Amino acid sequence: MRIRADEHVAPSIVRIVNELVLSHDFELTSILDVGDKGKKDEYWATAFANDGGHAILSADTDFFRRPHQVVAIDDTGLRVIYLPP
């Protein structure tokens, strides 16, 4: 399963989850690793889904307050893992 963290998830969390928690069947990367920092969530998430991504990890406090973003991500079929602040 491929998971991508948004820029609101600290790189140290991505690193620790990869090293200590995830099995080899999972891949967790950050948008910081792939050069998508600053892009709107609906754009990078759609590109990630089109590239075979399965889920996104977000700690963005506004994530669910943008209806167009929620619809766009829902249309991709991605699962959303939300980390509250």
Q: Where are the domains of the chain?
A: 2-82
> What whole-number distance in Å separates Cα of residue 64 and Cα of residue 43?
16
Q: Which fold has domain 2-82?
A: Rossmann fold (3.40.50)
Residues 12-43 pLDDT 10s: 999 999 888 888 899 999 999 998 888 988 89
Whether residue 20 contacts residue 46, with contact meaning beta carbons closer than 8 Å, is answered with no
Of 29, 34, 83, give the one whose Cα is nearest residue 58.
83
**Whether pLDDT at 85 is above 80:** no
In 1-85, at which residue ranges do the beta strands (DSSP E only) sit?
2-5, 27-30, 55-58, 79-82
Top-confidence residue, 19 or 84? 19
